[in-house]
Amino acid sequence: MTQIKVLNNSGRKLNGFAKNIELLADQIAPLVEDISRLKLPDTVVIRLMTPQAWRRARSRHDMRRMMAEASKLKPSTDSMRTATLTAKAARIDRRKTWAAVGGEFVDFTNGAEIVILPAALQEMGLLGSNESHSMVLAHELAHGAQHHVDAGMTWAQMKTHFPRERGTCDRSYGFLLEGHAHWVAHAITARLHGQSTTVKPGEGATSRHQSIHDSAEQQGYRRFHDRALQCVSKVIEDNGVEQFNRVWNAPELVPLVSESSNTEDWPQRLADELAK
């Protein structure tokens, strides 16, 4: 049975919130394994962080990952320049949009863990919403199961700074990983609450969060995730979970970038491939 370890780095006032997160995660973790047919690691760390600490940790982690990849892959000067600019853009984006990040799975160098930002949940008007907390935890725990099934290989392909050198420019690993995590989370919240839950601004959402939520970038992000969810749901409905799970060990089954623009192409290709 997976042990849940919650670390509260957001202040003593949130000790009660941390305990509630631990109780919910204890309830949700076995459901993730049951629904996804994937195992979680023996221990899952959930860390409550302030936005500032999270941004600093993510920036340090991204830089370490980029340098480690560069040492291994020997990228071209152009690829290195692109990676550096992409990392800088990501730092700026996290500074602008942290208030929309309730939780995130991060494969830090010292071990993968789930980060929860209570301040962001407060901005979203969801700090007291157990249903929303269930959705966030189910989604991020699903990412933990994805990461564990192949020792982080698929995750590394999505997070790579050098897709050209890895030969993955034509693949949309994010479409696979996010669509699957949404599918797991929707199934779990439907089981727990009688209907699937969607994380959306609560009544007490701040104008800062609402502005981020309503931005064209975030709307495009949600459409991408909606398509990914529809595709994963279709593949599993038609082929079953066990057949779908072949994708974790078969890179050729990962959706193409071109297939992420609609909800028909990838499910049809997988149906053909899985029937072989």
Number of Cβ within 10 Å of residue 211's Cβ equals 12
pLDDT at 157 exceeding the cut of 80: yes
Rg (CA), the chain: 18
Average pLDDT (15-35) is 97
Q: Which two tokens stand for residue 158?
A: 């999505």
Provide, rounded to the nearest whole percent, the portion of the chain with pLDDT above 70: 99
pLDDT at 153 exceeding the cut of 70: yes
Average pLDDT (168-181) is 97
CB 267, CB 231: distance < 8 Å: yes
Distance CA 59, CA 88 (A): 9
pLDDT of residue 196: 73
Strand 43-48 with 111-116, pairing: parallel
The CA-atom distances, in angstroms, between 50 and each of 81, 121, 155, 216 are 31, 11, 24, 26
Distance CA 137, CA 40 (A): 13
pLDDT of residue 12: 94
Q: What is the pLDDT of residues 244-272, one digit of tens each?
A: 999 999 999 999 999 999 999 999 999 99
Q: What is the pLDDT of residues 188-247, one digit of tens each?
A: 999 998 877 677 888 889 999 999 999 999 999 999 999 999 999 999 999 999 999 999
Average pLDDT (131-140) is 95
Q: What is the pLDDT of residues 49-96, one digit of tens each?
A: 999 999 999 999 999 999 999 999 999 999 999 999 999 999 999 999
Number of Cβ within 10 Å of residue 60's Cβ equals 12
pLDDT at 28 exceeding the cut of 90: yes
Could you give the dihedral angle defined by the CA atoms of residues 55, 61, 66 and 72, in that order, rounded to the nearest 10 degrees?
A: -170
**CA-based torsion, 175, 177, 181, 183: positive or negative:** positive
CB 253, CB 247: distance < 8 Å: yes
Q: Which two tokens stand for residue 73?
A: 């892959």
Distance CA 138, CA 182 (A): 8
pLDDT of residue 109: 65
Closest CA to 143 of 7, 36, 3: 36
| Single pTM value for the model | 0.96
The pLDDT mean for the chain works out to: 95
pLDDT at 148 exceeding the cut of 70: yes
pLDDT of residue 230: 97
CB 115, CB 52: distance < 8 Å: no
Number of Cβ within 10 Å of residue 195's Cβ equals 11
Provide, rounded to the nearest whole percent, the portion of the chain with pLDDT above 90: 91
Distance CA 126, CA 201 (A): 7
